[in-house]
Structure 1
Amino acid sequence: MINLIKNECIKWFKRPSFYVMSSILVGLSVLGLVFVLLLDNMPSSADGPLDWRQQLESDNETYSEILESNSFGDISYYERQIALNEYRLENNLPPTENYSVWNFIEDNIGLSSIITLFVIIIAGGMVASEFSWGTIKLLMIRPIKRSKILLSKYIAVLIFTFIFFSLLFVSSFIVGAIFFGFESQPSLQYFNGEVFVWSPFAAIVFKLFLQSIAVMMYATIAFMISSVFRNNSLAIGISIFLYFTGTTVTQLVGMKYEWAKFSPFANINFESVIQGSPLVEGTTLLFSIVMFLLYFIVFHVISFTVFTKRDIAA
């Protein structure tokens, strides 16, 4: 099994596309420095800055008015901001003024969308490419069960997901540490109506973990499509199309129909669910976990069933 996984990884390590993807990811994480420096050099408002307590109290008054009117905006967002501001006021914890390496890494977490795209390309072509290139017969003549071959391919996808997230974290950490230093305050996290105090490192790791779960689901969907279709380009194309449209369509449908919460795309972003801002109203954390596991199992059952039963003689 280990040799199969090594073989799958080596296939991609030998491809220039892997190094192009890695270079793009590292380059974008470093490029974030330019935007931070530009924003830092932007002229400030002409009015004098308010005391941080006055600012937070003023913000809470505005948020409370919005909640009372209930006329527009994401209600859960304002509830979250009020809770965080009240915690700071009660515990004399001013908002951080110094931009640190942890802030830089947190800003770069948005690049996980690029990681998702790269992983989809890898997963989408992991099986279909074997048929497109005609190498599938070389795999099948080995005295190894098809299920082990497919499992090794999926594990290889997860390994590349880990590699990309590691590259993002390490490159962001190095650049952030050099230019911004380590000085920072504890990170406030709002989960299920309560405020928790975490170390900046723990908060970053947790957010990366939540993002990796979302990437894993997209990878599983792409892997299933790759197992069903023989054409490499078609499998990758469909996977990318679902990535760009799945969440948007689910959100639009969810504005009118609550059953949209049963969509797999409504149960991928766990961070928004934990913070009380799910893609579809009425989605709870427990519900998302159950639906995530259900779809995860179903997609793999389809992948392994199709791959093990498929006739490769043609």
Structure 2
Amino acid sequence: MLKLIQNEWMKLWHKKGTWVMTGILIIITAGMMGLMKWINMQGMGGEMTREMIVQDPSSLGSTVLLLTVIVAAGIVASEFSQGTIKMLLTRPVKRWKILLSKFLTVNLFGMFLMLIGYFVHILFAVLLFKSGGGESLSSWSVWGKSLYMLLLSFGSVFVTATFAFTVGSVFRSSSLAIGLSLFIYFTGSTISALLSKYEIAKYLLFTHMDLTQFETGMMLVPDLTMPFSLAVLSVYIVVFLLVSYTTFVKRDVTA
């Protein structure tokens, strides 16, 4: 399995687009920090300190999600569009292992981007913002909150990438997978808010994708709890992976 993941990882980084996406992440993250500094200098939004900025890296989630979805949508679909699927599936390796290696590679890529973005976020927080009163940047509580928010932010990346991976695997279309994934991401919260008065809202995927809501207090639906959201997301993830597995394993190699 490790060899398969290594192979997928090497294939991913042999593409110029992967390096471009990493560069885009760095530029966008640095740009956002610069914008925050400008806003701070204009006296808007209150005084921001480096400790405040470090403790909330959740803004990284949106950029990483968009880039990870692109990889997730195409990692299987591209094998069909490029005609390499026949060679891939005729190898003496079980199909579920091939699929799993691709899925794990997608999420490793997402985590890698998250860490790169986090490093840039911290770097510019230190360079652009002054230390404030109260807890210093050396305090464990600051870093504990920071890493916890980073982990919660990755939740939406993982769920959306899994959905994109499933659509790309089933329909063999990266454009469809990207389109549907971004539609869910950008409109999901609005749909949940509109249906928040109804019981069904508690069981919709998009209601639970943003796990940072439990820290910010900006709940889409009242009375949600973290354990309940994690349970609902787990069910969706299992269903997505089962659909991907069933389709990929049973698909005709000449398709």
Whether the TM-score (by the shorter chain) exceeds 0.5 is yes
Query: 1:17-56 alignment to 2 at 5 Å?
Result: 17-42=17-42
Amino-acid identity (%): 36
Q: Residues of 2 paired with 1:233 and 1:36: CA distance?
A: 33
1:170 and 2:97 correspond: no
Q: Which residue does 1:262 correspond to in 2?
A: 203
Q: Residues of 2 paired with 1:25 and 1:285: CA distance?
A: 29
1:186 Cα offset (Å): 3.6
Q: Which stretch shifts more, 280-289 or 34-43?
A: 34-43
Check 1:43–1:154 CA distance in 2 against 1; reply closer, same or farther (3 A cut): closer
1:236 Cα offset (Å): 2.4
Q: Is the Cα contact below 8 Å between 1:121 and 1:236 reproduced in 2?
A: yes
1:276 Cα offset (Å): 4.5
Instruction: Point out where structure 2 has 5 or more consecutive residues left out of the alignment.
Output: none
1:182 Cα offset (Å): 5.5
Residue type of the alignment partner of 1:286 = P
- Provide the alpha-carbon RMSD of the alignment: 2.4
Q: Is the Cα contact below 8 Å between 1:258 and 1:282 reproduced in 2?
A: no
1:97 Cα offset (Å): 6.1
Query: 1:137-152 alignment to 2 at 5 Å?
Result: 137-152=86-101
Please state whether the residue corresponding to 1:143 is helix, strand or coil: coil
Residue type of the alignment partner of 2:62 = S
Show CA shifts across 1:31-64 (max 9, x none).
Answer: 23432332233268xxxxxxxxxxxxxxxxxxxx
Q: Which residue does 2:4 correspond to in 1?
A: 4
1:174 Cα offset (Å): 1.9
Q: Residues of 1 paired with 2:102 and 2:83: CA distance?
A: 17
1:214 and 2:156 correspond: yes
Check 1:292–1:252 CA distance in 2 against 1; reply closer, same or farther (3 A cut): same
Show CA shifts across 1:156-177 (max 9, x none).
Answer: 0111111111111111222222
Check 1:99–1:282 CA distance in 2 against 1; reply closer, same or farther (3 A cut): closer
Q: Is the Cα contact below 8 Å between 1:270 and 1:285 reproduced in 2?
A: yes
Check 1:301–1:4 CA distance in 2 against 1; reply closer, same or farther (3 A cut): same
Check 1:275–1:31 CA distance in 2 against 1; reply closer, same or farther (3 A cut): closer
TM-score normalized by the length of structure 1: 0.73
1:112 and 2:91 correspond: no
Q: Which stretch shifts more, 173-182 or 229-238?
A: 173-182
1:226 Cα offset (Å): 1.2
Q: Which residue does 2:250 correspond to in 1?
A: 309
Check 1:217–1:13 CA distance in 2 against 1; reply closer, same or farther (3 A cut): same
TM-score normalized by the length of structure 2: 0.89
Q: Residues of 2 paired with 1:242 and 1:97: CA distance?
A: 34
